[in-house]
């Protein structure tokens, strides 16, 4: 059992009008989806996420990059929302307004019942054409994976025959501007902010808590480890999201 939760925080939760919950890979860790800073396992052991999640990697070896994302998409589809996703969705039912902003490309918040989730880094289920940007629809079911291998040729665009790329934001790319504006606006308007399971190393997402903190809004971090935000946040709850979020609920 982790530390106790300050009574003051329960009062803030009960009276908040607009709560923002910013999540990162740590919120899905207990669903079995590896975070970005962990060493990759199995077939992907000799690669780094940061070296595959980029446009130049796709240009150089699209089958390798597509194969990696299909492997990740399969993990996501086989995973289930955990008590943290469920508690965040349930919290929205008890608060006048709650905005979920996530850096995750999985759909576990939605599958837990959260609505209107802002995806800052895109969605793994929404790929698009690398050439003409048109959306591409995956077929139903769990993705194919090459037996014992890593490489998989991406499908081609029905309009321009270009290669389909994963629907995620790669390193060096701009965030989707609608998502970014909606996220910044929520942080300008909220009166309580949670930051759950993010290392807060990747900008601009990592600057969102500072928007709320600068306004004097109470900020709460939930993370088992130290992060760059420890000094920015008013409350640091040290522990797993799947344990702490249900206790807050
Ligand atoms: P990271 O992998 O950088 O950080 C995960 C965070 O989750 C760490 O701070 C862990 O301590 C914490 N954590 C681990 N298990 C947890 C648990 N059970 N409960 C709560 N927290 C836990 O992931 P992000 O911060 O999400 O970007 O990474 C941000 C972005 O960097 C990602 O969206 C991705 C990545 O490169 C792109 O792909 C553009």
Domain with 20 in it:
1-33+81-126+171-249
In a shared domain, residues 74 and 196: no
In terms of domains, do 153 and 48 share one?
A: yes
Catalytic residue among 85, 109, 119, 121: 121
Residue 151: CB atoms within 10 A of its CB come to 13
Please indicate, yes or no, whether residues 108 and 132 belong to a single structural domain of this protein: no
**Which residues of the chain fall below pLDDT 70?**
1-3, 145-149
Same domain, residue pair 132 and 228: no
Q: Answer yes or no: do 182 and 104 share one domain.
A: yes
Q: Write down the pLDDT at residue 235.
A: 97
Residue 3 and residue 102 share a domain: yes
* Ligand 1 binding pocket mutation candidate from 202, 205, 209, 243 (most atoms within 8 A of CB): 202
Instruction: Give the model's pLDDT for residue 48.
Output: 87
* pLDDT value for 147: 58
What element of type H or E holds 164? strand 164-165
Q: The CATH number of the domain where 43 resides is what?
A: 3.30.1600.10
Nearest atom, ligand 1, residue 50 CA: 36
What pLDDT does residue 178 have? Answer: 98
pLDDT at 188: 98
DSSP string, 133-155: --B-PPPSSSPP--TT----PPP
This prediction has a pTM of 0.96
- For residue 157, how far is its CA from the centre of ligand 1 (angstroms)? 32
Q: What is the pLDDT of residue 208?
A: 97
Q: What is the pLDDT of residue 148?
A: 61
If DSSP codes are grouped into helix, strand and coil, which group holds residue 64? helix
Same domain, 66 and 89: no
Q: Are residues 41 and 110 in the same domain?
A: no
Active-site annotation holds for 159: no
- Reading the block at residue 138, the tokens are 């995956």
Domain count within the chain: 2
User: Of 108, 120, 119, 115, which is closest to residue 84 (Cα–Cα)?
Assistant: 108
Q: Are residues 159 and 175 in the same domain?
A: no
Q: Which atom of ligand 1 is nearest to the CA of 23?
A: 26
Is residue 183 domain-shared with residue 210, that is, in the same domain?
yes
Q: For position 2, what pLDDT does the model report?
A: 57
């Amino acid at each position: 059992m982790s530390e106790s939760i300050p009574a003051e925080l329960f009062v803030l939760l009960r009276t908040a009008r607009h709560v923002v919950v910013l999540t990162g890979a740590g919120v899905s860790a207990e669903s079995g989806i590896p975070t970005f800073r962990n060493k990759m396992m199995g077939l992907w052991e000799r690669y780094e996420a940061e070296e595959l999640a980029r446009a130049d990697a796709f240009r150089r070896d699209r089958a390798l990059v597509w194969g990696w994302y299909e492997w990740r998409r399969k993990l996501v589809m086989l995973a289930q929302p955990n008590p943290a996703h469920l508690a965040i969705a349930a919290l929205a039912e008890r608060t006048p307004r709650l905005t979920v902003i996530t850096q995750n490309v999985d759909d576990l918040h939605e599958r837990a019942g959260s609505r209107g989730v802002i995806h800052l880094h895109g969605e793994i289920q929404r790929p698009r054409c690398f050439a003409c940007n048109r959306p591409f629809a995956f077929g139903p079911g769990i993705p194919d994976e090459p037996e014992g291998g890593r490489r998989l040729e991406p499908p081609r665009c029905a309009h321009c025959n270009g290669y389909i790329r994963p629907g995620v934001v790669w390193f060096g790319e701009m965030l989707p501007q609608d998502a970014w504006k909606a996220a910044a606006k929520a942080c300008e308007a909220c009166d309580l902010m949670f930051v759950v399971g993010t290392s807060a190393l990747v900008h601009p997402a990592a600057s969102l808590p500072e928007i709320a903190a600068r306004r004097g809004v109470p900020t709460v971090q939930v993370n088992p480890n130290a992060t760059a935000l420890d000094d920015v946040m008013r409350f640091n709850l040290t522990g797993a999201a799947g344990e702490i979020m249900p206790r807050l609920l």
